[in-house]
Amino acid sequence: MTTASSRPTLGRLAAIGTAFGALILSAGWIDKTPSADSGLPTNRWQVGVARSVAVRDGRARFRVQAPGPTSQTLVIVSALARESGPFPVRLTARHAATAAIPEPADDGPRRSPRPADPMPKPRTKTARIPSPASFDRIPPRERTFHMLADDGDPADPGHYVEVRGVLRAVGRKVQVYVESQDVERVERPTLTEIVSTFDDHVVPMARSLGPSALDVDRDGRFTVFLSSRLDHLGSGRLAVDGFVRIADLDRGVPAPFGNRSDMMCLNAAMPPGGHLRSVLMHEYMHAVVYTARALQHSDGPVPGPDEEGWLDEAIAHLAEDEIGFSPSNIDYRVSAFLSAPERYRLVVDDYYKARLFRSHGNRGSTYLFLRWCVDRYGPDLLPALVRTPLRGIANIEAATGSPFDELFRRWTLAMFRSGLDPSRNGPASADHGDEYRSTNLRAPWNGWELAGPRYRRIRPGDPPDCWEAESTSTHYTIIDGGAGAVEIEVEGSPDAHLQVTAMPMGEDSARLSLTIEPGQRPDGRPSIIARVSERNGVPVRLSSLAWEPVLPGPNPRADGRHSGSLDMLGMASVFGTSALPAGGTLTSNAIPITEASSGNGPFILKLIGTDPKGRRVSAWAELNNLRP
């Protein structure tokens, strides 16, 4: 996590807080055939082929071919407005006599992708490389640091506290200080792991993507400062594992507003292990990105533009992937996003100013977007994003050669396709098409059950599907039935800049429904009763049932707002079998919900199963509270 930037004047401190493949057009992805009458065989809707749909003045109306009463049509509606929403959107489906190919959307022109720039040379005197002798110096045994203590005005020096750090470990490229009150809390294995991980893994990985972080204090080493104060930031409301403050990296920002040091802060409570190593990589990557962009592309003493928050965080999370220690810093964020994709914005310039500082679903969104981009355009995309003065959407468009609207459309479709057909997903598959190559969004991931992006089901003639769309967010709707054709109408504000994609899904897949009733065990602790039905005459092998809060807490692994689940054996135990017959219904016994995953509502519940062809199917339910 990075905090907001700190440009040379204190006026900038008000924002400081802890805060080359081508698109396949004709092989089952997005067809851009011009509008034509559906009576022409060459222009029929095809199962598995998505089509873009033009939107005029916030409205799109089109007619999809639906051969039978069990046909399914996926409609993906995104709001691509840059300003924040929410924007009210309504989708209506009704029976129609004939189908027609819709007018395609224009997502913009493509260009040649921009390769990574050569590693830039420092342009400022403060970026000079220390002499080899400086690496042999023994750092001072004690050092004073300044930290923002509460939610007050960050430009007011009264809101900062001066703390004493004690030197506890020194490596070739790193030195570790611990706040004096935490010296006994941080044990030797943690200190040893920080030094070895940073020297042997973090710095070599970061150097493959951009220049090393600027040696601001010219002491030859990066500083890691451990403090338990990270457990109660924001006047005690927030707990974080680590952060990098851009104010610290800017020598033009005086104390107490900045520490004039290349440094990060880590939570003194983190034990050694994969999570600590991932957070170390993540935070150092923020310093690298700022060095590569704002400092290497500076104009004299004035730093250049720092990266927008959403892309900065995405790059740091992708660096975690590259180093491969643990996904524990992103897994719960991905699960939160997939549970309510219309709730979360992809493009956020500054999370702190947008009051989205600990909104985990937004971080899950940006990780999944860049993860897909790297899967499709290759590992050279990351250094291309880092070594440039461009920022945000302009940066990603230049690096991929594709307009943002097209990338967004392809990404939202790839998320839905991920894991539907296991033979097309993951590194073992030779045929990925335009899908994810590195991850499966319908599989267990580090203790979190993923079920793809949540969707709603309606039938022609049902009440409209209505929702509030955040900017750069997505909503998924499946229309069941039609028996000939279905007319679909999407309406929203022109300011939302709606994007619509439609795809027939065929008739032979299973359809699951899930209903949940809260209950209570004899000892007073919560439980649930689950009822599962199949509605298309296709048997399903149930593999998991998972539950988690709709909104994860500030620190889910520490505050109890975590997930819970049943695997296939657990499903067989509570339902009597894991085999759901075609057109059948199963009702569970009382399913205990552990206190660690109960907390306060509302809650999302996800059911995942597999049909006889190995395709993943899912159903969703939501409860306001797990207590009756």
Helix (H, G, I), strand (E, B) or coil at 283: helix
Segment holding 607, helix H or strand E? strand 603-610
Select the more confidently predicted residue: 554 or 454. 454
pLDDT of the residue at 601? 66
Least confident span in 122-136, 149-163, 218-232, 299-313: 122-136
pLDDT category of residue 116 using cuts at 50, 70 and 90: low
Mean pLDDT of 293-313: 76
| pLDDT tens digits for range 332-385 | 999 999 999 999 999 999 888 888 877 899 999 999 999 999 999 999 999 999
Least confident span in 210-214, 395-399, 487-491: 210-214
Least confident span in 25-34, 92-101, 247-256: 25-34
Segment holding 97, helix H or strand E? none
Mean pLDDT of the chain: 85
Question: Which architecture, in CATH terms, is 512-623?
Answer: Sandwich (2.60)
pLDDT of the residue at 75? 98
**Residue extents of the structural domains in the chain:** 10-20+115-402, 32-109+429-505, 512-623
Q: Which residues contact 131 (CB under 8 A, 6 or more apart)?
A: none
Q: Which residues contact 595 (CB under 8 A, 6 or more apart)?
A: 525, 560
Closest among 579, 560, 561 to 569, alpha carbons compared: 579
Least confident span in 76-80, 376-380, 590-594: 590-594
pLDDT of the residue at 603? 86
Task: Provide the percentage of residues in the chain whose pLDDT is more than 90.
Answer: 62
pLDDT of the residue at 135? 53
Q: Decide: 381 and 373 in contact? Cβ < 8 Å.
A: yes
Q: Decide: 89 and 470 in contact? Cβ < 8 Å.
A: no
pLDDT category of residue 529 using cuts at 50, 70 and 90: very high
pLDDT of the residue at 8? 35
Tell me, what DSSP letter sits at residue 34?
P
Q: Decide: 382 and 318 in contact? Cβ < 8 Å.
A: yes
Closest among 290, 245, 282 to 265, alpha carbons compared: 245
Closest among 489, 403, 517, 501 to 453, alpha carbons compared: 501
- The CA-atom distances, in angstroms, between 400 and each of 306, 452, 559 are 20, 25, 39
How far apart (Å, rounded) are the C-alpha atoms in residues 252 and 125? 13
* Predicted TM-score (pTM) of this structure: 0.89
Mean pLDDT of 478-488: 91
Helix (H, G, I), strand (E, B) or coil at 546: strand
Q: Is the pLDDT of residue 10 over 70?
A: no
Select the more confidently predicted residue: 14 or 592. 592
**Centroid of chain to Cα 309:** 13
Mean pLDDT of 421-446: 74
Q: What is the CATH number of domain 10-20+115-402?
A: 1.10.390
How far apart (Å, rounded) are the C-alpha atoms in residues 395 and 351? 19
The residue behind tokens 């969703």 is 620
Q: Beta strand pairing status for 174-179 and 160-170?
A: antiparallel
pLDDT category of residue 121 using cuts at 50, 70 and 90: low
Longest dimension (CA), the chain: 82
Beta strands in 433-511 (DSSP E): 444-445, 448-449, 456-458, 465-469, 473-480, 484-492, 498-506
Mean pLDDT of 378-401: 93
pLDDT category of residue 526 using cuts at 50, 70 and 90: confident
**Centroid of chain to Cα 496:** 22
pLDDT of the residue at 387? 87
pLDDT of the residue at 267? 95
Q: Decide: 142 and 315 in contact? Cβ < 8 Å.
A: no
DSSP secondary structure of 548-583: EESS--SSHHHHS---EEE-HHHHHHHHS-SEE-TT
Question: Which architecture, in CATH terms, is 32-109+429-505?
Answer: Sandwich (2.60)
Instruction: Pull the structure tokens for residue 167.
Output: 């030197």
Burial tier of 151 (Cβ tally within 10 Å: 0-12, 13-18, 19+): middle
Q: Is the pLDDT of residue 524 over 50?
A: yes
